[in-house]
Copies of this chain bind each other. A is one copy, B any other.
Amino acid sequence: MNPAPSPSASAFSEFSKKYSPLVDALMENFFMEKINGADHPFIRDMYAALSEYSMRDGKRIRPLLLLASYEGYKKGIRRRAEIMKLACAVELMHSFLLIQDDIIDRSPLRRGGKSLHVVLDEMFYGKTHNKRIGSDLGIVLADVLFANAMQLISSAGIGSREKDEFIRIFSRTYEMTAWGQILDITHSREKRPDLSGDWPLVISELKTAHYTIYYPLVMGYVLSGGRDDREIAAIREFSLPLGIAFQMRDDILGTFGSEKQLGKSNDSDLSEGKMTLLIKYTLDFLEGDERKKFLSLFTSKSKTKSDISGMRSMIRNSGALRMVRARHLEQVESSVSLLRRLRLSGGMKLAVEGMIEGISAINA
Q: Which residues of B contact A136 (CB under 8 A)?
A: 104, 185
Question: Inside 8 A of A192's CB, which chain B residues have their CB?
Answer: 127
Flag whether A139 is at the interface (Cβ < 8 A): yes
Instruction: Check if A285 is an interface residue, CB within 8 A of chain B.
Output: no
CB-based contact A189/B150 at 8 Å: no
Q: Is the CB of A301 within 8 A of B129?
A: yes
Question: Which residues of chain B are near A363, meaning CB under 8 Å?
Answer: none
Interface 1/0s, chain A 170-192, versus B by CB < 8 A?
A: 11101100110111011011111
1/0 per residue, CB under 8 A from B, across A7-46: the answer is 0000000000000000000000000000000001011001
Residue on B nearest A103 in the bound complex, by CB: B139
**Judging by beta carbons under 8 Å apart, are B273 and A202 in contact?**
no
A143–B101 alpha-carbon span in the complex (Å): 12
Q: Which of A138-152 contact B (CB under 8 A)?
A: 139-141, 143-144, 146-148, 150-151
- Residues in B whose Cβ lies below 8 Å from that of A160: 159-160, 163
Q: Of all chain B residues, which has the CB nearest A130? A: B189
Assess whether B137 is in contact with A40, with CB atoms less than 8 Å apart: no
A186 touches B143 (CB 8 A): no
- Determine if A181 and B140 form an interchain contact, defined as CB atoms under 8 angstroms apart: yes
Q: Please pick, from B104, B140, B172, the residue contacting A147 in the complex, using a CB distance under 8 A.
A: B172
A65 to chain B, nearest CB (A): 20
* Dominant secondary structure of chain A at its interface with chain B: helix
How long is the Cα–Cα vector from A148 to B188 in the complex, in angstroms? 26
A195 to B25, CA, bound (A): 39
Can you list 30 A-B pairs with a CB-CB distance of less than 8 A?
A42-B179, A42-B182, A42-B183, A42-B186, A46-B179, A100-B139, A100-B143, A103-B139, A128-B190, A130-B188, A130-B189, A133-B186, A137-B182, A137-B186, A141-B178, A143-B178, A144-B178, A146-B174, A147-B174, A148-B175, A150-B171, A150-B174, A151-B168, A154-B164, A154-B167, A154-B168, A155-B164, A160-B163, A163-B163, A163-B164
> Chain A residues in contact with chain B, CB under 8 A?
40, 42-43, 46, 100, 103-104, 124, 126-130, 133, 136-137, 139-141, 143-144, 146-148, 150-151, 153-155, 159-160, 163-165, 167-168, 170-172, 174-175, 178-179, 181-183, 185-186, 188-192, 202, 273, 301
Give 6 nearest A-B pairs by CB, closest first: A160-B160, A150-B171, A154-B167, A129-B189, A147-B171, A147-B175
Task: Contacts A129-B189, A129-B190, A160-B163 known; list 18 others, CB within 8 Å.
Answer: A43-B179, A46-B179, A100-B139, A100-B143, A104-B136, A127-B190, A127-B192, A130-B188, A133-B185, A133-B186, A137-B182, A140-B185, A141-B182, A144-B175, A147-B171, A153-B167, A154-B165, A163-B164
